[in-house]
Amino acid sequence: MSAPLLEVEGLRVAFGDTEPVVRDVSFTLAPGRVLALVGESGSGKSVSAMSVLGLLPSGARVSGSARFRGTELIGASADELRAVRGAGIGVVFQEPMNSFTPVLSIGTQIAEAVRAHPTDLDRAGVSARVDELLRSAGLQDPARIRKAYPHELSGGQLQRAMIAMALAGDPVALFADEPTTALDVTVQAGILDLLRRLGRERDLAVLLITHDMGVVADVADEVLVMRRGDPVEHGTVAEVFAHPAADYTRALLAAVPALGPLGPVPARRGASGAAGRPSPRGEARPTSAAPAADPQPVAADASSSRAERQLTSDDGREVSPSAERADASAVVARLRDVAVRYGRRGEPTVSGIDLELVAGRTLGLVGESGSGKSTIGRALAGLVPVVDGSVEVDGSDLRTARGKRLRALRSRVGIVFQDPASSLNPRQTIGWSIAEPLLVHGEGTPASRADRARELLSAVQLDPSWTERFPHQLSGGQRQRVAVARALALRPALVIADEPTSALDVTVQAAVLDLLAGLQDEFGFGMLLISHDLAVVRQLADDVVVLHDGRIVERGATSAVLDHPQQDYTRMLLAAAPVADPVRQAARREAWRAWEGAAS
């Protein structure tokens, strides 16, 4: 093994006069190897990495040792650190939309990174270098990307552009801070494949910061588990995942929702016989192919999920335990041949959508970014222009409802938005935010609304006295619980949960999923679960619908669709989703590459 590029020993970080938030962290980075720092939010992962590069606020106190190629970085001067940043160690930040300047083009910002270190390139040479970097990051149209502004690119394109900028100084090491958070499974698989390829081709030493154990299993060689600032376990990925020594590591692995085995993998072939993308017409039809076996997971038992608790109906179909109740339950919402188009001309964003949502049951809606998932959710809430078909809520069509009737119908739908930090008013207390729907619809007195807010906080397992707290005083998981409470304020018949756990770490995610399932059992609402995380859908949904390019391509009971998919596109989505088992993940990675090859 090559000599380490970075050696960190006894790292400690404190802010002001408080107790250290990182204590005695030690690790090394070697060329061509990936070390994953994992743990829950607040465990000190990002603080540890940023402290090495001197990127913490001025009030931070950092001690210990961090030697990069023999040069001590702790206590180094600004000039010494500036020479290392970018040229020695590149950084891929967590949220590229926030990291890029919104008023400058992508090309201008990457060119700035190129010029930040000594170079003899002229203007044309810098432009050519920017194009080269964008291509190396997997962006095949560098001229367009270079001229684009951040808001004009997708999440995956932005993340690739961020990686390109991190490579601008030809670093020998790369810090990647949550590089796949909130990306859909196929984009995530592409980013991980890119990081793996760059590490191999450039012999990069990579520090991967993540809360996703599936990502660790996919791309890392070693793993360092942290909890509340302390290192709790360090070893190779194979050792730690197969035989975790620490109780906390076992808890992290057990909290990861599991996916079942993959179906048959296609032989690679050209575009004339592409199997990886669905036909634009209609839904998948059953095939005679039997699913192939997949190695069993070493952790994360999903036997308690809704998708696993199956019964058999009289005609032999697999149904979930609540299916008999659902047959007799009320349909709370129905879409019939719905099409949505945002502009006056052009093709609809979604079309031909037929769905039913039943009280007490959850319908999972999955697909890549841009497939139309959130558009369908907004159509159910009456927030987007439906140009064809009907959208019924509580038996009335939202398209024809007006005035008081429309307002009353909207009160029957609650929405849990993806990012509670953005959807909660930062200048208002959480009690006010929870009671706001009651105020908007003119329900109750100030005293009764305050009582309802406390009641809902208790229902989502938060302290009722927290009504006077502000969103910034809560953790990400606590804010998401507040968002759930607000969605239930008007006692809705339908709850739309739009990526409710995408930015949460695994243990918080598990708690929020359990909370949603328990509240549904208690209050009986129907739920539309919009997610790119197939394991989350498997755990919570009774039935699942797969979308591609605005059309439904497969639907059915969750276990049937996710364990025995009939559509090649569904199989590709499943193969792209990482699982927390290095052995299974290696097989899934090859399967995803095969589906990509079949689709190309």
pLDDT, tens only, 184-212: 788 888 888 899 899 999 999 999 998 88
pLDDT in the model for residue 322: 41
CA distance 351 to 356: 16
Displacement of CA 331 from its chain's centroid (Å): 30
pLDDT in the model for residue 491: 93
The mean pLDDT of 79-83, rounded to a whole number, is 93
CA distance 574 to 578: 9
CA distance 484 to 489: 9
Q: What is the mean pLDDT of the chain?
A: 84
Q: Is 338 helix (H, G, I), strand (E, B) or coil?
A: strand
CA distance 528 to 526: 7
Of all residues in the chain, what percent carry a pLDDT higher than 90? 54
Judge whether residue 506 has pLDDT over 90. Answer: no
Judge whether residue 294 has pLDDT over 50. Answer: no
Q: Is 105 left (phi over 0), alpha (psi -120 to 50) or beta?
A: beta
Q: Which fold has domain 1-88+172-254?
A: Rossmann fold (3.40.50)
Judge whether residue 311 has pLDDT over 50. Answer: no
pLDDT in the model for residue 314: 39
- Name which residue leads in pLDDT, 101 or 502: 101
Give the type of residue at 334: R
Of all residues in the chain, what percent carry a pLDDT higher than 70? 87
Enumerate the H helices of 259-402 as residue ranges. 323-328, 373-380
* Beta strands per DSSP E along 89-200: 89-92, 173-177
Displacement of CA 440 from its chain's centroid (Å): 31
Q: Is 46 helix (H, G, I), strand (E, B) or coil?
A: helix
pLDDT in the model for residue 544: 96
Closest by CA to 441, choosing from 410, 470, 464, 395, is 410
Angle between helices 106-115 and 123-136 (to 10 degrees): 110
pLDDT in the model for residue 344: 79
* Burial tier of 461 (Cβ tally within 10 Å: 0-12, 13-18, 19+): middle
Record the tokens describing residue 482, joined without a space. 């507040």
Q: What pTM value is reported for the model? A: 0.76
Judge whether residue 471 has pLDDT over 70. Answer: yes
Intra-chain end-to-end CA distance of the chain, in Å: 37
The mean pLDDT of 583-592, rounded to a whole number, is 83
Judge whether residue 337 has pLDDT over 90. Answer: yes
Q: What are phi and psi of 559, to 5 degrees?
A: -65, -40
Enumerate the H helices of 176-300 as residue ranges. 185-202, 213-219, 237-242, 247-254
The mean pLDDT of 581-594, rounded to a whole number, is 83
Record the tokens describing residue 590, joined without a space. 């090859």
Confidence of residue 281 (pLDDT cuts 50, 70, 90): very low
pLDDT in the model for residue 174: 95
Closest by CA to 475, choosing from 513, 449, 509, is 509
Among 256-270, 383-397, 440-454, 570-584, name the one with the lowest average pLDDT.
Answer: 256-270
Give the type of residue at 235: G
Taking only the tens place, the pLDDT of each residue in 426-453 is 999 999 999 999 999 999 999 999 999 9
Taking only the tens place, the pLDDT of each residue in 546-565 is 999 899 999 999 999 999 99
pLDDT in the model for residue 598: 64
* Beta strands per DSSP E along 382-454: 386-393, 396-397, 413-416
Judge whether residue 528 has pLDDT over 50. Answer: yes
Taking only the tens place, the pLDDT of each residue in 362-384 is 999 998 877 889 899 999 988 88
Domain boundaries, the chain: 1-88+172-254, 95-170, 426-491
Record the tokens describing residue 259, joined without a space. 């996916």
Taking only the tens place, the pLDDT of each residue in 116-147 is 988 888 999 999 999 999 999 989 889 999 99
pLDDT in the model for residue 276: 37
Confidence of residue 261 (pLDDT cuts 50, 70, 90): low
pLDDT in the model for residue 162: 93
In terms of residues, how long is the chain? 600
pLDDT in the model for residue 212: 85
Taking only the tens place, the pLDDT of each residue in 508-519 is 888 888 889 999
pLDDT in the model for residue 178: 87
Sequence-distant (≥ 6) Cβ neighbours of residue 376 within 8 angstroms: 335, 338, 340, 350, 353, 355, 365, 528, 530, 547
- Bridge-based pairing of strands 331-340 and 350-358 is antiparallel
386-390, 421-425, 498-502, range with greatest mean pLDDT? 386-390
pLDDT in the model for residue 1: 61
